[in-house]
Amino acid sequence: MKLPLPFRSFTVLPKSFLGVDIGTSAVKIAEVKRWGGRKSLKNYAELQSSALYDKPFRTFERNTLVLSKQDIARVLKAILQEAKIQTKDALFSLPDFSSFFTHFELPPMTKEELPEAVAFEARRHVPLPLSEVTFDWQLLEGTFEQKTPLKILMVAVPKEIVNQYQEIANLAGLTLSGLEAEVFCIMRSCVNEEDKSSLALLDIGAQSTTVNIIAKRTLRVSHSVDVAGNSLTDRIAKSLSVDAKMAERYKFEKGMTDKNLALILSPMVDILLSELERVSKEFQQQGGKEVEKIILAGGTALLPGLREYVETTVKKPTSIANPFENLYYPPVLEQTLKNLGPSHAVAVGAALRGLQ
C-alpha cells in the first residue's frame, strides 16, 4: 500500500531506487537496483543521531518534527555524499504512529462503486477532517462477482506530515516518489511473497515498538507502544547504577544471555509480549487464525538472547528479520548485512517499492 501523492508520476521506471527511514535513533538509507532479472543491493548507509545532535531525529510534538526539516535534510545530504549515492528517486517511510489504520466492512457492491463508498465511510473512521488527511485503502476480503460484503483496510496520514516529508526531500535534493507506512515497508522486505501464514511482526526500535499481525500477506492489526531499546538501556542504567553509555554496552554485549541482565530486562520485554498477546486475541476475535510464528525487526531484535526468550515464552517459532535475504550482494558482506538487517528492514522495503 502506498499513499497517493498528487505530484507522483512514474513515466520511466528508474533502475536504482532509494529507501529512506528517518528513525528516532538513526537515519537509514538503502539503495537497490535491478540487475538482470534480480534485485540487488547497491548501497546502504546510516547515520546515528547521537553522532550529530543531542536530540533524536524523530520526535513528534503535535505532528511536528522536533529537529528542523533543515537539520534532517542536512543529515540526509551528508549521508548521500559520504556514501557517494547518485540516485535521486526516493521513497520515504512514515512512522507508524503518524499513520492511522482502520478496518471496516461495506455491503456488496460493484468495483466501480467501491472508491466512492470508501471515501464516504472514511469520514466516520478517520479522527481528523478528511481535508487534512491523505488516505489509501486496500480490499482485504470479499469479491465483487460473488456479491459478498467487502472488508477494507484503510491508512490515513495527516497532510501536514506528508508536506514535511516532501519538504525534507526537496531540501536534500531528492525526488519524493511516495510515502509508505513503516509496517508495509518491513512486510515487503521481510515476509516472503509465498508466505500466507498468520504471523506477528514486531518492530522494536529505539523509541517505540510496533506489534503487527499479518495474515495472508495483509496487515490485520497494528499497535505501537513506547517500550523499546531506549527503555532497556534506561532500565539497565537504573538497576545497576551505571551511566547510559555503560548500560548500552551491557545491552549490546550481554543482553539477555546474562542471568542478572535477563532478570532486569525481562519485565520490559514482557510488556511487549503481553501487547503481542492482546493484539493476537483482538485478531482472533475478528475471526482470524492463531498466530503461527514471530518475526523480530528493528535494531533491538539483535539484543543477545531476545529471540530465544521470545521463542520459549510465547512457544512459537521466532526469527530475526533479514531484509537482505532476497537481494543479490557481494558474499563478503554476508555477516555485516545480517547484523544490519533488523534495523534496515524499513529502508530496504521502502527502496524495493521503487522496483515493483
Ligand X SMILES: Nc1ncnc2c1ncn2[C@@H]1O[C@H](COP(=O)(O)OP(=O)(O)OP(=O)(O)O)[C@@H](O)[C@H]1O
Binding site for ligand X (CB under 6 A): 23-26, 58, 205-208, 228-230, 251-252, 255, 298-300, 302-303, 343
3-class secondary structure for 303-345?
CCCHHHHHHHHHCCCEEECCCCCCCECCHHHHHHHHHHHHHHH
Are the CB atoms for 8 and 169 separated by under 8 Å? no
Residues near Mg ion (CB under 5 A), total? 2
Least distance CB 121 / ligand X (angstroms) = 31
For the chain, what is the total number of helices (H) and then of strands (E)?
9, 15
d(CA 297, CA 351): 17
Which CB, 284 or 319, lies closer to ligand X? 319
Are the CB atoms for 82 and 32 separated by under 8 Å? no
For the chain, how are helix, strand and coil distributed in percent, rounded to 5?
A: 40, 30, 30
Residue 208: name its binding partner from Mg ion, ligand X, none (Cβ under 5 to 8 Å by kind): ligand X
Residue 91: name its binding partner from ligand X, Mg ion, none (Cβ under 5 to 8 Å by kind): none
Query: Pairing state of beta strands 100-106 and 150-158?
Result: antiparallel
Least distance CB 86 / ligand X (angstroms) = 25
Least distance CB 121 / Mg ion (angstroms) = 31
Query: Pairing state of beta strands 218-225 and 38-48?
Result: unpaired
For residue 142, the one-letter residue type is: G
Which CB, 126 or 337, lies closer to ligand X? 337
Which CB, 85 or 302, lies closer to ligand X? 302
Residue 302: name its binding partner from Mg ion, ligand X, none (Cβ under 5 to 8 Å by kind): ligand X
Q: If binding is defined by CB under 5 A, does position 23 make contact with Mg ion?
A: yes
Are the CB atoms for 205 and 178 separated by under 8 Å? no
Which CB, 58 or 353, lies closer to ligand X? 58
Which CB, 23 or 323, lies closer to Mg ion? 23
Helix (H) or strand (E) holding 71: helix 69-82
Residue 341: name its binding partner from ligand X, Mg ion, none (Cβ under 5 to 8 Å by kind): none
E-strand stretches of the chain:
16-22, 26-35, 38-48, 60-61, 64-65, 89-94, 100-106, 133-141, 150-158, 175-181, 198-204, 209-215, 218-225, 293-297, 318-320
d(CA 317, CA 311): 6
Which CB, 22 or 156, lies closer to ligand X? 22
Which CB, 49 or 164, lies closer to Mg ion? 49
d(CA 248, CA 243): 9
Q: 6, 165, 45: which is closest to 94 by C-alpha?
A: 165
Q: Give the CB-nearest residue to ligand X.
A: 229
Which CB, 142 or 341, lies closer to Mg ion? 341
Least distance CB 30 / ligand X (angstroms) = 13
Contacts of 78 (CB under 8 A, 6+ apart): 47
Residue 323: name its binding partner from Mg ion, ligand X, none (Cβ under 5 to 8 Å by kind): none
Q: Give the CB-nearest residue to Mg ion.
A: 205
Q: If binding is defined by CB under 5 A, does position 95 make contact with Mg ion?
A: no
- For Mg ion, the binding residues in 186-205 under the rule CB under 5 A are 205
- Stretch of residues binding Mg ion (CB under 5 A), selected from 15-23, 103-111, 168-176, 191-199: 15-23
Q: If binding is defined by CB under 5 A, does position 229 make contact with Mg ion?
A: no
Residue 228: name its binding partner from ligand X, Mg ion, none (Cβ under 5 to 8 Å by kind): ligand X
Residue 300: name its binding partner from Mg ion, ligand X, none (Cβ under 5 to 8 Å by kind): ligand X
Q: If binding is defined by CB under 5 A, does position 142 make contact with Mg ion?
A: no
**Would you give the DSSP letter of residue 165?**
H
Per CB under 5 A, residues contacting Mg ion are 23, 205
